[in-house]
Copies of this chain bind each other. A is one copy, B any other.
Amino acid sequence: MAIREAFCEWIHQLQATICSALEEQDGKAGFREDRWERKEGGGGLTRILSGGTVFEKAGVNISEVHGLLPETLAQTLEAKDKRFFACGISLVIHPLSPLVPTVHANYRYFELYDPTGAVSDFWFGGGSDLTPCYLFEADGVHFHKTLKSVCDRFSDTWYPRFKKQCEEYFVNRHRGNEMRGIGGIFYDYLRPEPGISPKALLEFSMAAGGAFLESYLPIVEKRKGLPYGDQQIFWQEIRRGRYVEFNLIHDRGTLFGLKTGGRTESILMSLPPRARWEYHDAPVPGSEEARMLQYLKPRDWVSSSQPIPKTI
């Protein structure tokens, strides 16, 4: 089977698997679905859960679109022809509890053509990153180790490289270079190279996406029952405000989608259900909230890293 067909079939399966597992974990809320078509070609299936006992808002989208690239993008990509094909799965999960981290993952495949219609270029992109409001160090270690073990099956260089790209991408530059969360992996324009076949790239994306539940659900399981109060909810809303800032100010995918007539409802499904902005929201020095901020910078999560002391 061609890469494109295999990847497209896989995103359908993964969407179904992830939604079922999240419903089971939640125990109450179910996903509703919205099938949509794109005027210029293709469409997608948006699946949304809201108001759950564990997940306040979760969106798991797949889309398969084709058409003509906007002029500026065609130039940037040095495309021989404007036709393109893209498909992918994209998810964002905002749990109800401030003690359960928000998570994002996205896996996509892109094709360009020459004037005869033959594939002239193709690449994969994707990644996953975790955004806690309160940090349990073991959760960060588990999340990173899971992603690293997938990367290591394909290349020793990928985890460090993709982790770094994630750290450089998910950053609120206007907030003193504060990372959105504790990172994960992020890759783009991943093309075949010596020793890495097209099939290996496909298998890698499928393995990384396939490890999503393993990277995230054990964390949910461990933290969802912990008690919290108004102070934790307040801090959660402040941190979600930062999530909104990143997505609307810096995220290339969001801005590209919104400015080129993408489906606004599906694109902005990534925004949290509640957010808050206070003037000077810096937490009390020495608090758990202040300690959390220390983790929002590049950090070694997989070797024997020193924990950040409880009181700073």
Q: Give chain A's interface residues, CB within 8 Å of chain B.
A: 34, 46, 48, 50, 57, 59, 173-175, 237, 241, 244-245, 248-249, 255, 258-259, 264-265, 268-269, 271-280
| B50 & A278 in contact (Cβ 8 Å cutoff) | yes
| A174 & B259 in contact (Cβ 8 Å cutoff) | yes
Q: How far is the CA of A50 from the CA of B277 in the complex (A)?
A: 11
| B279 & A265 in contact (Cβ 8 Å cutoff) | yes
Q: How far is the CA of A265 from the CA of B275 in the complex (A)?
A: 16
With A248-B248, A249-B258 in contact, do A48 and B264 touch (Cβ < 8 Å)? no
Q: How far is the CA of A46 from the CA of B265 in the complex (A)?
A: 35
Q: How far is the CA of A174 from the CA of B241 in the complex (A)?
A: 20
| A248 & B244 in contact (Cβ 8 Å cutoff) | yes
Q: How far is the CA of A175 from the CA of B248 in the complex (A)?
A: 14
Neighbouring B residues of A255 by C-beta, 8 Å: 249
| B273 & A269 in contact (Cβ 8 Å cutoff) | no
Q: How far is the CA of A59 from the CA of B278 in the complex (A)?
A: 11
Option from B249, B258, B265, B273 in Cβ contact (under 8 Å) with A280: B265
| A274 & B276 in contact (Cβ 8 Å cutoff) | yes
20 new A-B contacts, CB < 8 A, other than A244-B275, A271-B277, are: A46-B279, A50-B278, A57-B277, A57-B278, A57-B279, A59-B279, A174-B259, A237-B274, A241-B271, A245-B268, A248-B248, A248-B249, A249-B249, A249-B258, A265-B280, A269-B279, A272-B277, A273-B276, A273-B278, A275-B276
